[in-house]
Amino acid sequence: MTTLQGKLAMVTGAGGGLGREIAAQFVAAGARVLLTDIDGERVAAAARELGPAAAACTLDVADESSWDAAMAAAAALGELDILVNNAGILLPGSIEDATLAQWRQLMRVNADSVFIGCQRGLRAMKSRGGAIVNIASISSWMPVDGYAAYGASKASVAALTRSVALHCRKRGIAVRVNSVHPDGIWTPMMQASAPGVDAARLLFDAKANRGGRACTPDKVAQVVHFLASDAASHVSGTEIRVDNAILGYGL
């Protein structure tokens, strides 16, 4: 694992699932990590489990004032080096049966949050440099039947990532901005959307189950870890798929 020794990172949606796994890998690599989540009790418990290198803060990622409070909490720990915009929700709904309220909720949590996060993160890291990693989805490019608004929200994350990376490049700002695009991640959020599905059938395994599609959180977190590290110092504006070749070869 690439070292993050001496780095200060902030991870949104870190109360469980992928966010918690990212935070755990960062701590193991030597970083100090501020875990944030809308569920304050849950994220505080996650931080306690990770030990003294972890701290916690309640954050509503779609609210600017909540972001400002979280950035102040990060500043109290030191100078921010890494921001992972991971928080998100998954709601089903085709173009025929989704409601405008669902569309707005998905955009608020999945897209508005990344806009605010990139803006606040860039302000915090602009003078020193750093890394922003945004968690998008394979549905940024590939339609997923029955999830019209979700796909649109993640496509927004991909487009914004490219825009912010270009902004930094053109202005000589040493902040790298990349996005990670998993297919499914076997977390409680995905499990709730697929009740009764056998994990052994769904999880991809290069030897045992090449027909599977879902990833485990640790594998996706390893990609995030790389992008956050100095090993990726020449990588910005890229979109890394963690999809077991689904997009390239079709369903």
Contact indicator for 43, 35 with CB cutoff of 8 Å: yes
DSSP structure class, residue 108: I
Residue corresponding to tokens 């004032």: 65
DSSP string over 196-233: T--HHHHB-BTTTBTT--EEPHHHHHHHHHHHHSGGGT
| CA distances for 107 relative to 68, 89, 115, 209, angstroms | 20, 10, 11, 34
**What SS3 class is residue 36?**
strand
CA–CA gap between residue 122 and residue 118 (Å, rounded): 6
The verdict on whether 249 is a catalytic residue reads no
Nearest to 133 by CA among 30, 4, 16: 4
H or E element that contains 85 = strand 82-85
Max CA-CA distance within the chain?
Answer: 50
Distance CA 152, CA 64 (A): 22
* Segment (H or E) for 41: helix 40-50
DSSP 237: S
Q: Identify the helix (H) or strand (E) that includes residue 251.
A: none
Question: Amino acid letter at 242?
Answer: V
Choosing from 150, 187, 215, 227, the catalytic residue is 150
**Which residues does the annotation mark as catalytic?**
150
